[in-house]
Amino acid sequence: MPFFMRDYTVRRFVGMSDEFTEFTATMDVQQVVPSSSEFAQDGQRKRKSVNTWGAVQMLAADPVTGTRGDLLLYKGHWYECTSCENRDHTILRHWRGEWTRQPEGSEGRDNASAKIVLTPTG
């Protein structure tokens, strides 16, 4: 698994505000292969998504509370974390995340009032 790991920029929002922190996380990122399930009932293509594997827990969006999930910058596009599960039952003991591509301009870059650069450890 370490062969596929690379450093990626992750943006984490502070509470319900537009303030965020950015840090670098080492992960394996893989695009989800399109299938028939990629299309909505009206025939429109659903948003692209990626899966990640890494040692750092990511925060998933919560539509009930309106909490924004972490954003991952991958190949010039932002993806929001929709799920992150601990896979401690495997020998690799990692976090697996699911991410959905965000519409252009929705990443909070232009209206963010604070930016702090952090690097998580462990």
The tens digit of pLDDT for each residue in 26-56 reads: 999 999 976 655 555 665 556 799 999 999 9
Q: What is the pTM of this model?
A: 0.75
- Average pLDDT of span 53-67: 92
With contact defined as beta carbons under 8 Å apart, do 58 and 84 qualify? yes
Phi, psi of 4 (to 5 degrees): -100, 0
pLDDT at 82 over 60: yes
Question: What is d(CA 69, CA 61) in angstroms, rounded to the nearest whole number?
Answer: 4
Q: What is the DSSP letter of 39?
A: B
pLDDT value at 101 more than 80: yes
Percent of the chain with pLDDT over 70: 70
User: How would residue 92 be classed by pLDDT, with cut points 50, 70 and 90?
Assistant: low
Summarised one tens digit per residue, pLDDT across range 10-24 is 999 988 888 999 999
Rounded to whole angstroms, the Cα distance separating 110 from 42 reads 33
Cα–chain center distance at 119: 16
> How distant, in Å, are the alpha carbons of 5, 31, 85 from that of 15?
29, 29, 21
Q: Domains in the chain, please, with CATH?
A: 2-33+45-114 (2.40.10)
